[in-house]
Amino acid sequence: MKLTLQSLAKSIAHMAPLLGGALAGSSGSAVGGMIATKFGGDLQQLETLKNLIHADPDAALKLKEIEKDIVAIQNLTAQVSAQAMQSVLIDRNHARQREINLSNTANPRDRTPAILAYLLTLWMALAFATLFFFSLPKNNASVVLGIVSSLTTVWVGAMGYYHGSSLGSGEKDAGLLHHLYYPADTK
């Protein structure tokens, strides 16, 4: 019977449970590569790698070191994601605060963002109509589609500014952050 990554994960889980779980998970190849490097084996030869692990008297210590490295990487990734999310939330809050501040002034309406949103919507309609009713020259098709894609992204952002739900976004953001820090709670 040929050894699989999952059966190697079960074998490793006895010495390092978190590492065994990570090896059996979606990032198994990356984790397996770390294990193979640590023990001087090859992920393409799992039986040999398993024998190297079981023959090493310091195997449990080495596996725990890898486990510790993976946890550190996950923590760093979570921190970077949380910082990026915080930047998005701060940016969104500044945009909302701008609208609140404008509504409290003597001249409560700066029409520039609304005009830009209307123009973007018009451009989107024209771009899609053009794509549906006219054929694109083959040598320019990728450029035109790239421009329309970029325009779509900007339009979605503008519509999110005017029609986005701060409460719903806040709940979603809180859920994402909770999942990043406590992934076991969401299973």
Q: What is the SS3 string spanning 33-58?
A: HHHHHHHCCCCCCHHHHHHHHHHCCC
CA-CA distance, 121 to 80, in Å (whole number)?
A: 34
DSSP state of 134: S
Residue count of the chain, please give it. Answer: 187
Q: Convert the pLDDT of each residue in 52-104 to its tens digit.
A: 998 999 998 999 999 898 888 888 888 888 888 888 788 777 877 877 777 77
Q: What is the pTM of this model?
A: 0.48
Confidence of residue 180 (pLDDT cuts 50, 70, 90): low
Name the average pLDDT for the chain: 81
Cβ atoms of 23 and 35 within 8 Å: the answer is yes
CA-CA distance, 138 to 121, in Å (whole number)?
A: 26
Q: Which amino acid is at 26?
A: S
Q: Convert the pLDDT of each residue in 126-151 to its tens digit.
A: 988 888 888 888 888 888 888 888 98
CA-CA distance, 177 to 101, in Å (whole number)?
A: 29
